[in-house]
Structure 1
Amino acid sequence: MSARNARTVGVGIAAGAVVGAVLLSALARRRSGAAGLPGVETAAHLDAARAFNRSSALLALSVLADSGIEHYRGSFANKAMYTPLISSLLSLAAGLHGGADSVARKHPVRNVVYLTAASAGIAGTGFHLYNITKRPGGISWHNLFYAAPIGAPMALLLSGALGAVAERLRDEPAVEPQLFGMQAGRALGLAAAAGLAGTVGEVALLHFRGAFQNPAMYAPVTAGPLACALLTHAALAAPRERWFTRVWLRITAALGFIGVGFHARGVARNQGGWRNWSQNVLNGPPLPAPPSFSALALAGLAALRLRETEK
């Protein structure tokens, strides 16, 4: 694929995302207005569901940009490499739509989009695992470092899973909502904590590959596990206000956005810097990856708010 064609594809994807988001958000506002009177405060579980929709959208945006860059670098050698771009684009639109939708019932189209994205994430993990095992040496540090990243498709799975959970939560009653046989706040907290744990593992692997050459590379692999532990404890323990967990999750969310700046600096340090962006963005640290950290921390905050309202 030529650079010109790549730019055309990129512009097309971005334009499609913007147009789709605008149309779906407008539809959400119409449904919201039909559902109840303006100014009426929504239930806590609905607020949590909308927050999970938004977290799913942020994860999908990260996947869309990251898979677009990485699969372009792989020249889209396998036509299946277009799948995460399409799935993440749809998941992004569904997340933006759900984040603006205050209707307390599952949206069937969004639900299908989320389940499809989760399935694509599972299939992508299988493709990436096959890519690793078919190389000389099979599952080895070298192949884990330089073959298809084993954890990357999991971000698409998480985007779909967070969105699907949000849709299921919308169908629950406002009083004592439950998910998977437990209080909804507890279930959401455990789901967000599990996503954080997986993301920390992927970050640890890639930062280990980079030999932690910048001390800031230790930040996500220290803040992340603590955030995961605090959120798990908040989910399993008796409900009460947990200000320190809330503050730490906010710090973790901020680290994801700050990480984009550090990765941009990493790109600039390559030969030619940003003047040679078309080469260095492909070879430097992945710019779209850190916001996935933020998405899961924000989902954890939403789960924590709901957990604190439970008895």
Structure 2
Amino acid sequence: MLDELNALEQSLGTRGATVRAARGLNVGSALLAASVLLDSAVEHYRGSFKNRAMYTPLVVSSLSLAMNAHGTTDREPETHHARQAVAATTALTGMVGLGFHLYNVTKRPGRLAWQNLFYGAPLGAPMAILLAGLLGTAAEQVRDNPRHGKARLFGLPAGRMLAGLSGLGLLGTTAEAALLHFRGAFQNPAMYTPVTLPPIAAGLLLNTALAPKRPDRWFTRMWLWLTAGMGGAGVLFHSWGIHRAMGGWHNWKQNVLDGPPLPAPPSFTGLALAGLAALRLLREHPDA
């Protein structure tokens, strides 16, 4: 009887760890979806929605935001089929959108020339909605782990998989920031921050995914919180960049379209929070 009680207690503890990790992933995915929703609304409005497909990321990212917001409050250790369907649709939308944006860039004279990468359809934008879908899908998979205690994601240790996914996502987001800040000639020293802090966070997460398991990765957690805070500070810096344009916020209709994108920096925050969810799962779950 005592052994059965101990097994039940361990099962409840591991299930709680996976649910907490899933809710953390929902938070990260929701931030990415919100970033995509606002950014695509601005960019596609600037493009006059000349292709009806340009409405798609607005609809899908809105659904993703709503479903992930629901997931952050859900304490049940079971897959929610509506959330899972929306997450899969979000990831598929990101892949299709990447194809559209790549076509937009390569059809121009010079194809993958710097000029086209600077001013063509941004390749990083559909990658963000793809990541939102992947994190949402991972949240549902982690939440639904069986009671035997092993936390798995597509057959592999969930904590390590989530750390690797978050790390790769941070590298991709850094590449997009580097491209746009290079276009801006790094005129403000603060513009080096999103191309220096996140790659270190990504390296720490990839080390977590591949290196032997350690009970407490305090330095990685600290760096991820620093990266998350940088995402919030980035909104303030971009807001200041809009303020410095001719007319400032009095001419917001023009300057929001042409200035630094306000919704972009929170993508770093969302991925950093997903990485923190992975670390928490590794710390709380005996087999993640």
Q: What amino acid maps onto 1:285 in structure 2?
A: P
Match of 2:162 in 1: 188
Structure 2 counterpart of 1:274: 249
Q: Which residues in structure 2 correspond to 1:193-212 (within 5 Å)?
A: 193-212=167-186
Q: Take 2:25 and 2:271, find their aligned partners in 1: how far apart are those partners?
A: 9
CA displacement at 1:302 relative to structure 2:
0.6
Return the offset for 1:181: 2.6
Give the counterpart of 1:66 among 26, 34, 39. Answer: 39
Question: Which piece of structure 1 moves more, 49-58 or 171-180?
Answer: 171-180
Higher relative contact order, structure no. (Cα contacts within 8 Å, ≥ 6 residues apart): 2
- Specify the code of the residue in structure 2 equivalent to 1:298: L
Report whether the alignment pairs 1:129 with 2:102: yes
**Is the 8 Å Cα contact of residues 239 and 308 (structure 1) preserved in structure 2?**
no
- Residue 5 of structure 1 aligns with which residue? none
| Aligned positions of 1:161-180 closer than 5 A | 161-173=134-146, 175-180=149-154
Alignment-derived partner of residue 119 in structure 1: 92
The separation in 2 between residues aligned to 1:305 and 1:268, in whole angstroms, is 39
> Pick from 206, 219, 242: which aligns with 2:193?
219
Q: Which amino acid aligns with 1:150?
A: L
Equivalence for 2:83? 110
Partner Cα distance (1:135, 1:235) in 2: 39
Q: CA deviation at 1:287?
A: 0.2
Q: What displacement does 1:239 show?
A: 2.1
C-alpha separation between the residues in 2 aligned to 1:173 and 1:186? 18
Paired position in structure 2 for 1:247 = 222
Match of 1:45 among 15, 18, 22: 18
Q: Which range moves more in the overlay, 286-295 or 166-175?
A: 166-175
Looking at structure 1, the residues matched to 125 and 153 of structure 2 have their Cα atoms a distance apart, in angstroms, of: 27
1:260 counterpart = 2:235: yes
**Is 1:95 the counterpart of 2:57 in the alignment?**
no
**Deviation, structure 1 residue 210:** 0.7
Provide the rounded CA distance (Å) in 2 between the counterparts of 1:255 and 1:129.
29
Q: Separation in 2 of the partners of 1:179 and 1:160? A: 15
Aligned-residue offset at 1:176:
2.2
Which digits, 9 at most, give the CA deviation of each residue in 1:127-154, with x for residues without a partner? Answer: 1111111111111000000011111111
What are the superposed Cα offsets for residues 110-135 of structure 1, whole Å, 9 maximum, x if unpaired?
11101111111111111111111111
Give the distance between the partners of 1:279 and 1:232, measured in 2 at CA: 41
Post-superposition shift, 1:238? 2.1
Q: Distance in 1 between matches of 2:64 and 2:206?
A: 26
Query: Which consecutive aligned stretches of 4+ in structure 1 deviate over 6 angstroms post-superposition?
Result: none
Deviation at 1:54? 1.2
Q: Which residue of the partner structure matches residue 229 of structure 1?
A: 203
2:273 to 289, 298, 309: 298
Moved more, 129-138 or 64-73: 129-138
| Aligned CA-pair RMSD | 1.2
Residue 308, structure 1, aligned to residue 283, structure 2: yes
Task: With the length of structure 1 as denominator, give the TM-score of the two structures.
Answer: 0.85
Partner of 1:43, secondary structure, is helix
- Which whole-Å deviations, capped at 9, do the CAs of 1:190-226 have from their partners, x for residues lacking one? 1111111111111111111111110001111100110
Runs of 5+ in structure 2 lacking a partner? 1-11
Cα displacement (A) at 1:308: 2.2
**Stretches of structure 1 lacking an aligned partner (at least 5 in a row):** 1-39
In structure 1, how many angstroms separate the alpha carbons of the residues matched to 2:31 and 2:68? 8
Whether the aligned pair in 2 keeps the contact of 1:46 and 1:104 (CA below 8 Å) is: yes
Report SS of the residue matched to 2:196.
Answer: helix
